[in-house]
Structure 1
Amino acid sequence: LTGVHMTFNGFTLEMAATDGYRISIAKSEMAQKVPQNFEALVPARALAELSRISTDGDETLLMSFPQGRGQVIFQMKNAQLVSQLIEGSFPNYAAIIPPSFKTRTVLSTSQLLKACKQTEIIAREGSYIAKFDIQPEIEGDKSSLLEISARSEQTGSSEVMVDASVDGVPLLISFNIRYLREALEVIKTPNVVLETNAVHTPGLLRPVGDENFTHIIMPINTAR
């Protein structure tokens, strides 16, 4: 979609964006409490322009929504940006997030990102499809790990092992490796957690120790 859904609730702003295959949700605290909770759908292009003209990341940003005009106004110290809001509804993304998960995999953010980049070299020739083989620890046999693999008729195959702490059941699931790599590139915490249920249900990626960012990624059906 071309819009970013904003939910204003008390002191909290929650933003969500999706393209039908993945959803990113970010939360932040505002300096002032909104007098009334409300929602708005802001064009992604307007937010990209706001990021471009905002040279100071610590600058205070004032947002206002003039009643009856269907607009949002972003006011900065030396600039003002006005944009029309998007009419229409946004998918109920809360309903997509599973209430619980059968497998929880904790990994180093940098190691997982490196593995995704290596796998993407092969996977990009096959619609960016990569298999994630999640294996919990077997006592007295082997430690838990994640194997990421991809195959291409032109360039061969790739298998990358990543150390992991896996709690739950084993699972072989496929994701778009580019989507995962792009999410990891904006995560700043040392570790991330990948939570999964089954081969056909969404996976959830989030920073360990930071509840303000959640990335939901739909699996790819590779059954023949």
Structure 2
Amino acid sequence: MTRPPGGVPPRVLLVEDYEDTRVALVVELEAAGFDVDDAADIAGADRALAGNDYDCVVFDRLLPDGDSITYVHRRRKEGWATPVLFLTQLDSVTDRVAGFDHGGDDYVVKPCDMAVVTARVQAMCRRAGRARPSVLRHADLEVDCARRETRRDGVLLTLSHKEFAVLEHLIARAGTTVTRAELIEHCWDTSTDPMSNVVDKVVKRLRQKLLEPELIHTVRGVGFRLEAER
């Protein structure tokens, strides 16, 4: 998958307890242009999902702490909409139907070609990208991702490219704490020192331009959260 100039690569969470398979898939997906996080069980997946947004999640079915379809089914009932691919050795018709009935969007049976999994993930991320709204809103803040325009209470703001990128990421994760490392990963190139204060400088300028009441709040020792009220 080709990364658009200046764009953010699709982010994938891979949940697989068998280390050899997990490592091989991470290598394959990263080579295809994905930003990949991985976990070995449902608890690890839950922690990753609590702090990050993903374009697609790949779940092995039978994990050390349970069947992932039960977890996905519960999350679906809570309104979680991220595309899910089940990757498993359970290959009966009943197993496949259960995967779809419990909220899966695709189902691949092991053993399988890594290229097949990558192609399925690419297709799911494309569908997820098309489904994402082009205009993001929170309180009186509006970010038009297509036009690259920002308005606060209807007033057009002038933002630099980096300020817009940071704000776009924060509003997409509104109400969730976003770490400085995550902002560097998504809004800067790989040569940026994660210990530098570039993020704080951009956030300071954003606060000045967004005016009152304050929308971007500092979570001490962690990062930032965009929300109308603390």
TM-score by length of 1: 0.28
Greater fraction of residues in strand: 1
Greater fraction of residues in helix: 2
TM-score by length of 2: 0.28
Structure with the bigger RCO (C-alpha within 8 Å, sep 6+) is 1
Larger radius of gyration: 1
